Amino acid sequence: MLLQVEDLHVHFLTQSGEIPALRGVSFSIEKAESVAIVGESGSGKSVTALSLTKLLESPPAIYKKGKILYEGVDLLSLSQKELRKYRGGEIAYVFQEPSTSLNPVYSIGFQLLEAIELHQPHLKDKKSVGLEVLQKVGIVDCQMVWKSYPHELSGGMQQRVMIAMALLCKPKLLVADEPTTALDVTIQAQILELFAKIQKDLAMSVLLITHNFGIVKGFSDRVVVMFRGQVVEEGPTEKVIYSPTHPYTKALIDCVPRLGEKGKRLRAIDYSLIESSLNL
Amino acid sequence: MTGPTVSSPLLSVNSLKVYFPIRKSLFGRSKEWVKAVDDISFTIKEGQTVGLVGESGSGKTTIGRTIVRLQDPTSGSILYEGKPIHNLSQKQFRPYRKKIQMIFQDPHNSLNPRLTIESILREPLDIHFPGMEKKQKKEKIVELLEKVGLSAEHLYRYPHEFSGGQRQRIGIARALAVGPKLIICDEPVSALDVSVQAQIINLLMDLQQEFNLSYLFISHDLAVVEYLSDYVLVLNKGRIVEEGTPEEIYKHPKDAYTKKLIASIPSI
């Protein structure tokens, strides 16, 4: 077991009082396993991802209850300083919008070197480590990209650079929070392929956060479905997709557009039905 | 289908070319061009939806922008109900803005954050229906909101108080305000969750039925385009590489690029 989240409760302080974002989330990730959290905006999937290394600013976030065990250590009980060892080094992130994650005024090479210097200051030939990792994410012309600035690269290329940066410290767990939502479908397919390849090659665990059931199939070993801060269903990907037990899971699968259904209405989610089946 | 114009298309685009200069020589003449749109022709009939599919950089957005005169064409013509509109001045084009409206991809950036929903929807009415009475305008605005699944209680709120899906509904209401016949939908659902995407696509289908609207539906996702379109154009690097009914295209794709697009669609 690499990571185990137990009964995680996270609240947010707002003007209208404390709002629960997570209400008892539990799931686990094995070594070299790929898990997907699927849910809509507001389901708490990103809050879950960010809570893993306490990346949420606190306050307003309050870690109310629960445990996040990473190789047996409860990350929630660690100080910010102690957590630094885990952030990036053990658990690395790739976010949705690569253009806002990269610094626009520094070259790609500079930003990669910065990350290497921070995490592996003892390394001698830092530049070649950086170039190597760019190659690993399928960038052919590494030298060129090294010298480029973020705005000179396409969205797909920027996301490859973000993945390269995440891989620099050889993390054991890669958390990808909607990594392809800002990309075209063709580029999305390439990036997902890249994730799958890296995961195999490096025997890394991947936690994919997405709102689209379509991209989960063929990618993740297991799926965790979230709704309003709770896990409503969990299981092997194929099983969840082909025989979902929870009505919300079913509804979420149904609204993925399929080829060959022209003119039919897409099945939108009937929330009142789902809410009545949950005790909120 | 009503009126005598059924047989003639509502909009026809003929050999449209839009080139952007990249390098200029000493005397200001451009040496190199990006051919964003390179010899594109198609027509849209009343009540019909034409889908434009392609990746970033394929020129699909440029086509939409050229139709609504946000971009000048390099050559070619665009006819609306048989009359050329591609060479009109902004002033001459104004009456056509009532007929041709646009819905944008990012509902966060296309609504003025400092205006209430009421003001956002009032603006097009003030411009295009200056004679309309205040009370009448208010009724019209409420009616528009209800058409897109919102209600009068949303009138005095600001865009940031709405979710992405609701904001896209406001964008649609704004487009509908002037009673257009053709709506250019430029990636209207790409920024939305799949569950919300389904709601918006259903809404667009309902509105089309109710108002006999024509759509030019622009998207990078063939699966989404296929739901709505009667006819699909596949664009690559400014050229149409394949066209046909959606059934033809996904069942028997001929072009290698179309095949790649189909293979990329996430499926269950």
Which residues of B are less than 8 Å from A264 in CB distance? Answer: 227
Burial letters B153-189, b for 16+ CB under 10 A, else e: ebbeeebeebebbbbbbbbbbbbbbbebbbbbbbbbb
**Contact indicator for B149, B169 with CB cutoff of 8 Å:** yes
CA dihedral B6, B10, B11, B12 (to 10 degrees): 20
Which residues of B are less than 8 Å from A40 in CB distance? Answer: 193, 195-196
Mutate to test the interface with A, among B163, B193, B234 (most CBs of A within 10 A): B193
Of B215, B34, B185, nearest in space to B104 by CA: B185
Structure confidence at residue A52 (pLDDT): 93
pLDDT bracket for residue B84 (50, 70, 90): very high
pLDDT at B6 over 60: no
Contact call for B266 and A217, based on CB within 8 A? yes
What are the φ/ψ torsions at residue A194 (nearest 5 degrees)? -60, -45
Look at residue B113 and tell me if it is in a domain: yes
Of B267, B268, B225, B264, nearest in space to B246 by CA: B225
A263 touches chain B (CB under 8 A): yes
Mutate to test the interface with B, among A192, A227, A262 (most CBs of B within 10 A): A262
**Contact indicator for B257, B236 with CB cutoff of 8 Å:** yes
Structure confidence at residue A233 (pLDDT): 93
Name, in order, each residue with C-beta under 8 angstroms of A49's C-beta and a sequence gap of 6 or more.
A37, A93, A175, A177, A207, A209
pLDDT bracket for residue A268 (50, 70, 90): confident
Which residues of B are less than 8 Å from A249 in CB distance? Answer: none
Closest-CA residue of chain A to B203: A265
Q: CB pairs under 8 A, 24+ apart, for B146-154? A: B147/B173, B147/B176, B147/B207, B147/B210, B148/B172, B148/B173, B148/B176, B148/B203, B148/B207, B149/B199, B149/B203, B150/B117, B154/B117
Q: What is the pLDDT of residues A55-85, one digit of tens each?
A: 988 888 899 899 999 998 999 999 989 998 8
pLDDT at B79 over 50: yes
pLDDT at B7 over 90: no
B267 touches chain A (CB under 8 A): yes
Which residues of B are less than 8 Å from A256 in CB distance? Answer: 194, 266-268
Structure confidence at residue A201 (pLDDT): 87
Nearest to A40 among B195, B205, B229 (CB): B195
Using CB atoms within 10 A of its CB, is residue B267 exposed (0-12), middle (13-18) or buried (19+)? middle
The token pair that represents B263 in the structure block:
């293979």
B260 touches chain A (CB under 8 A): yes
pTM reported for the whole predicted model: 0.82
Contact call for B260 and A186, based on CB within 8 A? yes
B205 touches chain A (CB under 8 A): yes
Look at residue B164 and tell me if it is in a domain: yes
Residue reference for tokens 């028997």: B252
Question: Residue A181 and residue A187: Cα distance in Å, rounded?
Answer: 10
CA distance A5 to chain B (A): 26
Look at residue B170 and tell me if it is in a domain: yes
Question: Residue A176 and residue B88: Cα distance in Å, rounded?
Answer: 49
Residue reference for tokens 């046909």: B244
Look at residue B17 and tell me if it is in a domain: no
Look at residue B250 and tell me if it is in a domain: no
Look at residue B76 and tell me if it is in a domain: no
Contact call for A186 and B247, based on CB within 8 A? no
pLDDT bracket for residue B3 (50, 70, 90): very low
Look at residue B161 and tell me if it is in a domain: yes
Q: How many CB pairs under 8 A join A and B?
A: 108
Q: What is the pLDDT of residues B128-179, one digit of tens each?
A: 998 899 999 999 999 999 989 898 999 999 998 888 889 999 999 999 999 9
Q: How far is CA A264 from the centre of its chain?
A: 33
Q: Would you call B157 helix, strand, or coil by DSSP?
A: coil
A186 touches chain B (CB under 8 A): yes
Average pLDDT value over all residues in chain A: 88
Using CB atoms within 10 A of its CB, is residue A55 exposed (0-12), middle (13-18) or buried (19+)? middle
Pairing of strands A34-38, A205-210: parallel
Contact call for A256 and B266, based on CB within 8 A? yes
Structure confidence at residue A263 (pLDDT): 64
pLDDT at A274 over 90: no
Query: What is the mean predicted confidence (pLDDT) over A194-198?
Result: 87
pLDDT bracket for residue B95 (50, 70, 90): very high
User: Does a cis peptide bond (omega within 30 degrees of 0) precede residue B4?
Assistant: no
pLDDT bracket for residue B4 (50, 70, 90): very low
Q: How many domains does chain B have?
A: 1
Q: Which domain holds residue B140?
A: 106-178
Q: Would you call B226 helix, strand, or coil by DSSP?
A: helix
Contact call for B268 and A40, based on CB within 8 A? no
Of B64, B48, B154, B153, nearest in space to B104 by CA: B64
Largest CA distance in chain A: 61
Question: Residue A79 and residue A84: Cα distance in Å, rounded?
Answer: 9
Question: Residue B72 and residue B26: Cα distance in Å, rounded?
Answer: 24
User: Does a cis peptide bond (omega within 30 degrees of 0) precede residue B73?
Assistant: no
pLDDT at B5 over 50: no
Contact call for B194 and A212, based on CB within 8 A? yes
Neighbours of B92 (CB within 10 A): 11
Nearest to A212 among B163, B247, B266 (CB): B266
How much of chain B exceeds pLDDT 90, in percent? 63
Look at residue B198 and tell me if it is in a domain: no
For residue A206, the cross-strand partners are A34, A174
**Contact indicator for B124, B94 with CB cutoff of 8 Å:** no
Neighbours of B6 (CB within 10 A): 12
Which residues of A are less than 8 Å from B220 in CB distance? Answer: 184-186
Contact call for A255 and B226, based on CB within 8 A? no
Structure confidence at residue B109 (pLDDT): 84
Structure confidence at residue B10 (pLDDT): 94
Of A208, A190, A212, nearest in space to A140 by CA: A190
Using CB atoms within 10 A of its CB, is residue A51 exposed (0-12), middle (13-18) or buried (19+)? buried
Structure confidence at residue B236 (pLDDT): 92
B193 touches chain A (CB under 8 A): yes
Contact call for A259 and B265, based on CB within 8 A? yes
Pairing of strands A17-29, A3-14: antiparallel
Name, in order, each residue with C-beta under 8 angstroms of A256's C-beta and a sequence gap of 6 or more.
A212, A213, A214, B194, B266, B267, B268
Nearest to B264 among A185, A256, A260 (CB): A185
Closest-CA residue of chain B to A43: B193
pLDDT at A236 over 50: yes
Structure confidence at residue A148 (pLDDT): 93
CA distance A238 to chain B (A): 10
Residue reference for tokens 């090294």: A146
Structure confidence at residue B171 (pLDDT): 93
Average pLDDT value over all residues in chain B: 89
Residue reference for tokens 């040496």: B31
A239 touches chain B (CB under 8 A): no
Distances (CA, A) of B166 to A35, A91, A228, B169, B191: 31, 35, 19, 5, 12
Which residues of A are less than 8 Å from B222 in CB distance? Answer: 185, 259
Residue type present at position A245: T
